Structure 1
């Protein structure tokens, strides 16, 4: 499993692990029912403590991305399209809200802001 984490990041390691596993699941790189590495395996691979990975797995289970079977391991949950769509919107909402507030601070109007979003959307579309 390709999880990218950084010791230099200001984000706690367990949050980075949660975000990376969510990304892999949403991108379809991990299938429903697929077994995750054991806590010991992943902590060794990422050179972090087992407590960190356990906390990440607990968080993922709490939000419904994985489930755990005692003595068997942790597995990817089957998520509905509605749940995946809701998660994607949640990921974009906070940074977008920050951008809207910043635009208002700088006295941009709604039309200017929407034009900026549309322009950026088109530019990134061309780069795909």
Structure 2
């Protein structure tokens, strides 16, 4: 199974964190239901053209936070999660994305009111099918 994730060398965010965040999003968004087998560390690192060490770190973090589990000799699978934890994670993913976007906008010199206006424009575009 090939995961629909992308990593960017240009991002200030470390690659292992990009992998971790995107896999979390796929899990809490329901695209990877509990029990879904994940690609091996080697296969994923090859797909993403990054090091095995980087991919291993992402998987270790995901496992330590209860998103995935590794079964010796069988592979790595999406773990069953409590509804509360899934909802908290969904919110955290969105809040983190907003924070990063706001930080980028501020670095470009936009004021808070300009950022809010842009945000409203984007919401309206999405509402109108844009």
Unaligned runs of 5+ in 2: none
Q: Give the equivalent residue in structure 1 for 2:10.
A: 8
Is 1:54 aligned to residue 92 of structure 2? no
Displacement after TM superposition at 1:30 (Å): 1.1
Larger Cα-atom Rg? 1
Is 1:26 aligned to residue 32 of structure 2? no
Q: Give the equivalent residue in structure 2 for 1:85.
A: 87
Higher relative contact order by CA 8 Å / sep ≥ 6: 1 or 2?
Answer: 2
- Contact (CA 8 Å) 2:20, 2:62: kept in 1 or not? yes
Change in 2 beyond 3 A, CA 1:107/1:88: closer
Q: Give the equivalent residue in structure 2 for 1:70.
A: 72
Unaligned runs of 5+ in 1: none
Give the number of equivalent residue pairs.
118
TM-score for both structures, normalised by structure 1: 0.74
TM-score for both structures, normalised by structure 2: 0.73
Displacement after TM superposition at 1:107 (Å): 9.0
Q: What's the C-alpha RMSD, in Å, of the aligned pairs? A: 2.6
Change in 2 beyond 3 A, CA 1:107/1:65: closer
Change in 2 beyond 3 A, CA 1:8/1:116: closer
Q: Could you list the runs of 4 or more consecutive aligned residues of structure 1 that deviate by over 6 angstroms after TM superposition?
A: 115-120
